[in-house]
Amino acid sequence: MRLHQTDFSRQSVSRSILSSSLPLIVAELVNLLYSQVDRIYIAHIAGIGAMALTGVGLCLPVISLISAFARLLGSNGGGPLCAIELGRDNTEEAERILGTSFTLTVIVAFVISAAVLVFCEPVLYLFGASGQTFGYARDYLTVYVLGTVPVLLTLTLTPFVNALGYSSIGMVGTMIGAVSNIVLDPVFIFLLDMGVRGAAVATVISQVLSAVFIVCFLRRRSLPIRLRFTALERPRCLKILFLGTSGFTMGATNSIVQLVCNKCASIWGGDLYVGVMTILNSIREIFSTPINGFSGGASPVMSYNYGHGDGKRVMKASNILLWMMLVYSGIIWALIYIFPDPFIGLFTTDQILASATHHALQVYFFGFIFMSLHMTGQQTFVALGYARQAVFFSLFRKVIIVVPLTIILPYFTGVDGVVLAEPISNVLGGLATYTAMRLVVFRRLTNASV
């Protein structure tokens, strides 16, 4: 099998980013189908669709938290460090980083699975479950967590495949699972009449297929580094965890924000507005996915050239990333503002829920374009190993801005305040993160190039 590998040091920067980003965007979109297809099918279960969707929405903070560990060990932790070492031609250390991330992932996945199964009931009630929605949330989550090991392996190891220049392989691995999920969902939900639990079973089976493919690829002898269990050494573990904390913080704070939003929505608007938040988060995930793909595609380009000592290519990659995301996010902002109803219709046929979501969606996405500034600044910090700055600005946007505003604003604006916090954080967080990155990173790279 002939594989296409991207040369990050010689190929043009824009072409390198595009050749890495496009497969990642496809992979991210397809991966998103795991949860989105579940929600779309669940929303259309006769008689219980709206309430079942609300129940599954209560699981989103837990699912986000699980995914955050993949950022900790992979895309924001071991992945960039591996790419930097590959840029330095230090394949031995790159392989140790891969093996350490792999070993840590397996350990963490088993611990998470056990913890969620033990504390499922109090966690779901903490996240806003009611007597009507708890059963649906429990049925979905208790099955979903059985797939924690394969889902974390897929999400953690794919950035290493990208660091090697084989982003198309990562795309194929993700697509194997997602296509399986699309096929299996209606079988388990409707044909076997398993409802919400059937959606989770289909997802777990699909995750296993993806994980097997990625693990087998990284075991190939023809690769410069191979996947294997590696003895955990404190300095290397700390290095991965310290850099990865920024991505974990972003994912974990997303979970915290969803928790706070669900709780505040429940207080100010009842189960109906928990359903609204589920739809808003689902649509945000869809449109944020290409942004994640652009970021993931630019990251190994910046990391590799940083390790290679080429600061000019690093800065050029960061600038190209910004313009790609500005154009994309501007188009999405306009589409959401002008045509919100088709996107809402994907997730509900309930007219009361759809009507409540219409205005909330337009408010929630106001200022979406400023996310480009935050993501560019954040990804540049991460790709170059600026762990402290990456962690701070992850906390700044979500914990310092979003969470307090979500709690405070409803006292002045009613339930609208729950969604107003997001656009405010996009503007303030985006400007702050990008400005700091230019002052810290670009100034140092420019001085080093002189």
* CB 97 within 8 Å of CB 82: yes
* CB 370 within 8 Å of CB 426: yes
- Sorted by sequence, the CB contacts under 8 Å of residue 285 that are 6+ apart come out as 32, 35, 36
* CB 194 within 8 Å of CB 184: no
C-alpha dihedral sign at 161, 166, 170, 172: negative
Q: Where are the alpha helices (DSSP H) in 76-192?
A: 79-87, 91-126, 134-144, 148-163, 167-186
Percentage, residues of the chain above pLDDT 90? 17
Neighbours of 211 (CB within 10 A): 23
C-alpha dihedral sign at 159, 161, 166, 172: negative
H helices, E strands: number in the chain:
19, 0
CA dist 297 and 168 (Å) reads: 11
Taking the alpha carbons at both ends of the chain, their separation in whole angstroms is: 44
- Domain segments of the chain: what residues? 13-449
pLDDT at 385: 80
C-alpha dihedral sign at 186, 191, 196, 198: negative
Higher pLDDT, 219 or 129: 219
- Sorted by sequence, the CB contacts under 8 Å of residue 71 that are 6+ apart come out as 77, 244, 247, 248, 250, 251
Complete DSSP assignment for 255-287:
HHHHHHHHHHHHHHHHHHHHHHHHHHHHHHHHH
In this prediction, residues 117-134 reach a mean pLDDT of: 79
Percentage, residues of the chain above pLDDT 70? 90
pLDDT at 450: 46
**Longest Cα pair distance anywhere in the chain, in angstroms?**
68
Residue 399: pLDDT band (50, 70, 90) is: confident
Find, among 421, 428, 320, 418, the residue nearest to 370 by Cα.
428
Q: Which of 32-46, 49-63, 295-309, 344-358 has the lowest mean pLDDT?
A: 32-46
pLDDT at 62 > cutoff 70 = yes
Residue 1: pLDDT band (50, 70, 90) is: very low
Q: Dump pLDDT digits (tens) for 13-29.
A: 877 777 777 766 776 66
CA dist 237 and 214 (Å) reads: 22
In this prediction, residues 77-102 reach a mean pLDDT of: 89
CA torsion 157→160→162→168, rounded to 10°?
-40
CA dist 227 and 158 (Å) reads: 12
CA dist 347 and 43 (Å) reads: 6
Q: Dump pLDDT digits (tens) for 166-221.
A: 877 877 887 888 788 888 888 888 888 787 788 888 888 988 998 999 999 999 88
Model pTM greater than 0.75?
no
Higher pLDDT, 254 or 142: 142
pLDDT at 2 > cutoff 50 = no
Average pLDDT, the chain: 83
CA dist 141 and 62 (Å) reads: 8
Chain position carrying tokens 């297929």: 209
pLDDT at 396 > cutoff 70 = yes
Q: CA separation (Å) from 399 to 252, 257, 363, 405?
A: 10, 8, 20, 10
Q: Which of 53-67, 98-112, 335-349 has the lowest mean pLDDT?
A: 53-67
Q: CA separation (Å) from 91 to 50, 85, 94, 225, 381?
A: 52, 7, 5, 6, 23
